[in-house]
With several copies, the nearest count.
Chain A
Amino acid sequence: MYRVVRIEKVVQETPSIKSFYFVDNSNPAPGQFYMVWIPGVDEFPMSISAIDDLKRFTVKKIGDGTAAMHNLQEGDRLWIRGPYGRGFKPTDEPALVVGGGTGMATLAPLINALRDADVIIAARNEKELLFVDEFPDKEVHIATDDGSRGFKGFASELAAVLIDKKEYGMVYTCGPEPMIKAIVDICLARKIPVQASLERFMKCGIGVCDSCSINGFRVCADGPVFSEKELAQMTELGKWKRDPSGMKVKI
C-alpha cells in the first residue's frame, strides 16, 4: 500500500540532479530506500537522502521515470512505500566516506550521523558534484574525472591516497559499481572494514522476486548495504548484473 506525500520543495542540485523534499512519518536508517511510484509512468527505488522533519529524495534524470519525477513541482504528489532494506551500520571510529555521482544521495544522511568522518565527493566534472557544501563540519575532498575541481582522477585513486595516510576504522561507499569494486578491493587488500551500498534492477523491493540478486544476495532485502565479508563473496560485483528478464548482462 502506498502513502501519498506532497512535495514541499524542489532543489536543482546539478544540471541532471534534483532534490525533492517531503513530509513522511516513517523512520528510515541511512542507506535504506523507498519504492517511488509515479502513477502511469513507473515505479523505482530511491535512497533517502535526508532524514529530518523534511525528508528528501535526490534524483538523477536518466530515463522516463526519473524524467517524469523531474517534471514534478512543489505541491505535486509522490506515491511511496518503504523504507526497505538494511542500511549502514554506523561506527564511532574515524571513517572515510566515498560517494560517486548520486551515490552521495545515499551517503548524505550517514555522513550527518557519523561523529568522525572524512568525505570524498566525486563526479565526472565540477558541475555534477553533489552536496559539496552540505557537510561544513567534515573534511571534504573533491575528485573529478576531468580535474575541473579538486583531485583529477577516480574517487578510488583518491581514496587509496587518504587510506594510506590515516588510519580509518571503516570505509563507506556508494556510486558507480566499478568505483565501488575498486574501493572494496583496496579495503580488502588492506583489511579495512568496508560497507558498500549496491544498486540492482528492483521489482518487488521486498525480497521475493530475485530480480535484484547478486550472487544470491538480495540487494533489496539483504542489502542494499553490504559489508566486506559479503562483498568478498560477490564474484559478480562490478562485472555482471541482471536485466529485467533475469538474464546476466555485463556491467
Chain B
Amino acid sequence: MLSITINNLHFPNPFLLASGILDESADTMFRIIKHGAGGVVTKSIGMKKRGGYQNPVIYELPYGLINAMGLPNPGIEAFGEEMKKLKNCGVPVIGSIFGGTTDEFVYLAKKMENYGADAVELNLSCPHAKGYGMEIGVNPNLVAEIVGEVKKSVSIPVWCKLTPNVTDIVEIAKAADKADALVMINTLKAMAIDIEAQRPVLSNTYGGLSGPCVKPVGLRAVYDVFKEVDKPIIGVGGVCSWTDALEYFMAGASAVQIGTAIATKGPTIFAEISRDVADWLKKHGYDSIKDVVGVAHR
C-alpha cells in the first residue's frame, strides 16, 4: 500500500530522511531506517572537509528552525567509510553532494556511485553557503549544465534539489530537464536578530528557514511544478504529520522527505506517519499511495 518505485528504485514507503538531518554518520542513518524511513538522503558532501560555521548555527522558532550549518562534512574521501557501512541497509541510499563547479559535481557524483549510492541528489539550493548551493541553483543555465554533465557521467538516477528562493521555480525545474527526479524545497532565505544582543543570532548572519512554517511554500512549489513537468517529484519542507504528507502527495509528490520534524517529534515520526497514512488510505478506499499523487489537480 505504501511502497513506491521512483526511477526503478524501490522504496518500502515514501517517507525519506531529508539531507542534512541526522545523516552525517552511517550509524545514525541506520537508526532512522530502523525507525521506519523508506530511504535516506545523506548529508550534502563536498570535495573537502569543512567544519561548517561557528556556533550558533541554529535558531529555534515556535514554528520552525533557521539554520546555517555551513555545509559541514568530512569530505568525499572520508565519507566512503560511512557509505560502505550503509550497504545492505535495506532501503535506497541517496548520496547528496554539493560542488562549486560542474567538474566538482561530476567528480562527487561518480564517487557516490562508486560508494554504492542508489541515486545522487544534487544540492543546488543551500541558501547560506557562499559559492555553493543556491548561488548555482538560481541560474537556469548552470543548473542545466550541471545536471546534464552529471547525468552523462553516472548511471544511477540523478535527483535535483531546488531552492524556493527564486522568482520562478518552474523555470528552474524545466532547466533541470535531464534530472530523473526533482526534490523541492530547500530552506527559505531567512535570519533572526536577538534584540538584547542587538545583533544577528547566527554566526553567519543568514540562514535557511525550515519546518512547519515553510510547508505552504513547499506545497505550492510542488503543485506548480507538477502541472508543468512530467517527472517524479519528492516533496520536502515542513512535513510534520500524516496530513502534511498527504497534502504533498495530493499536490503531486511521489514521496516526501522529513527533516526538522525529527527535532520536535523524534525519529519515531517515520513509523507514525506510515501507519497513519496507511490508515487514511484504507478508510478512503485507496489501494496505494500512488493513487493520491496529484489528485488535488482538477
**Interface residues in chain A, defined as those with a beta carbon under 8 Å from any beta carbon in chain B:** 1-2, 4, 35, 37, 39-40, 42-44, 77, 79, 81, 203-211, 213, 215-218, 221, 242-248
Contact = CB atoms under 8 A, between A and B. Distances in A.
Interface of B: 20-25, 27-28, 30-31, 43, 49-52, 54-61, 65, 67, 69, 72-75, 78, 81, 194, 196-197, 199, 201, 259-260, 262-263, 266
Nearest to B50: A245
Contacts of A209: 20-22, 24, 57-58, 67, 69
B179 to A, nearest CB: 26
B53 to A, nearest CB: 9
Given A211-B72, A213-B22, A246-B74, A2 B194 contact: yes
A1 B59 contact: yes
B197 A79 contact: yes
Nearest to B18: A208
Given A44-B55, A79-B196, A246 B24 contact: yes
Contacts of A244: 51-52, 72
Contact of A210 (B30, B43, B67, B81): B43
Contacts of A77: 196
Contact of B263 (A79, A203, A208, A217): A208
B259 A245 contact: no
7 contacts: A39-B199, A77-B196, A209-B57, A216-B25, A216-B30, A242-B25, A245-B75
A23 to B, nearest CB: 16
A1 B25 contact: no
Contacts of B23: 210
Q: A81, A217, A245: which has the most chain B beta carbons within 10 Å?
A: A245
A40 to B, nearest CB: 7
A245 B72 contact: yes
Q: A2, A213, A246: which has the most chain B beta carbons within 10 Å?
A: A246
A203 B194 contact: no
Contacts of B58: 203-206, 208-209
Nearest to A42: B55
User: Which 4 A-B residue pairs are closest in the complex by CB-CB distance?
Assistant: A216-B27, A43-B55, A39-B197, A247-B74
A219 to B, nearest CB: 11
A208 B52 contact: no
Contacts of A243: 51
B25 A246 contact: yes
Contacts of B72: 203, 211, 244-246
Contacts of B57: 203-204, 209
A243 B57 CA distance: 15
Contact of A79 (B69, B194, B259): B194
